[in-house]
Each structure stands twice: as C-alpha cells, then as structure tokens.
Amino acid sequence: MALPRDGWQASASASSSDDPPSKAIDDDANTRWSLGHGMQPGDWFQVDLGSTQTFDQLVLDTSASSGDFVRQYEVYASDDDTSWGKPIATGPGSTVSRILLPTTTARYIRVVNKASSGSWWSIHDVSVFASDGKSTSSPGTSAGIQRKNATLPDGTKLQVTYNSGSGAATFDVPWGGTTYSYRLPGGAAAIITTHGA
C-alpha cells in the first residue's frame, strides 16, 4: 500500500529552477524534479515523510523523461536527517526504478547517485510503499529472515531475502527437485533472479 503524501517535503542537492523537488511528490506525472546539471556521484534526492513511517519499497518514476533515470543508486534512511548509517539498498536505476528495501522505519529517505552521466537526473513521481509487517518464516528458515517477491515488466522474477538479525542466518531455496540452503550474514541481503522462458 502506498503511503499517503500528506505532509511530505522533498529536497535535493541541486535543482533546475523550473523543476524543484516538490514537483516529484505533487501527484502529477507531467511535472518533475530535475537536477539542473549532468549527473555526478554524490548528487542526492530526499523525501521527508513528515513523521516516522514503516516501508519496504520505493518507486522512482521517470517515464516521461525516460533517459534521465539515476544510473546507479544508494538508498539511505534516517530518523533525524543527520545520521544516515549504511545504505539500505543499492543497484542500477531504470526508467521506473522499483527498489525493494528491508522493512525500515524512518522519517527521511535519501537516494544518492553513484555514477556520472551527461543527462540531468529527473524524477516525475516518487512513491513509498508500506510494509505489511509480516516476515516470511518457513521450514529451513532462521528467525530474522524476511522475504519479498517482485516481478519486473520484462517478466523477470526477483526474490529478495534480508537478514534483519545481527548474526548469520540460513534460508532454503527450492530449485527443481533440489532444495539449496544459503547462509546470509547479519544485515545482508540476497537477490535471486529468475528469468521467464
């Protein structure tokens, strides 16, 4: 479920004078925030949710400016806009970046660009999705293991497994007639990708 945007505020490391950060959270896919210069590592876009929220997915939609997506990102979360800690997600961007996160409770979300491009980074729409609060637990799965599934537009299926505990944990992955057991360090995530036929 998408979090309501009431009380949200957006900010960025830089902006075009015509495309301020607020245009990425105005529920209008025709408006956008844009960086105002070619992408450089360290550029960032941030959303203040207005209060502490629990969430597990972030979507950055750049469909109306399809070449202007962030090339490589890190996502951070904070309660106070000062202490950010380690990234909670990293990956390559796309026209619609659906970023699966470990279930996180925070007020601020910051996306940091990690790559250079001549294109201006733009975001037409930002959505944050609430966690259902459920952790998947099944035989062969240690406590602290959380799983989320997603299907990309090209049919690729993703299973993201996150170890929210401090110690190593194991989880099973059935594959054909065999079940494989994986060991995941505390605070680490594994992504298993399955491509359609």
- Read off the pLDDT of residues 113-168 as tens digits, 9 standing for 90 and up: 999 999 999 999 999 998 654 443 344 445 567 777 777 777 777 778 777 777 77
Q: How far is CA 41 from the centre of its chain?
A: 18
Report CA-CA distances (Å) from 38 to 17, 69, 168, 176: 15, 11, 41, 46
Q: Which residue has the tokens 């550029």?
A: 43
Confidence of residue 73 (pLDDT cuts 50, 70, 90): very high
Cβ 142 vs Cβ 171: under 8 Å: yes
pTM over 0.85: no
Report the DSSP beta bridge partners of residue 129: 2, 57
| Mean pLDDT, range 86-105, rounded to an integer | 90
Can you give the pLDDT at residue 136?
38
| Position 46 confidence tier, pLDDT thresholds 50, 70, 90 | very high
Tally of CB atoms within 10 A around 192: 15
Q: Which helix (H) or strand (E) holds 68?
A: none
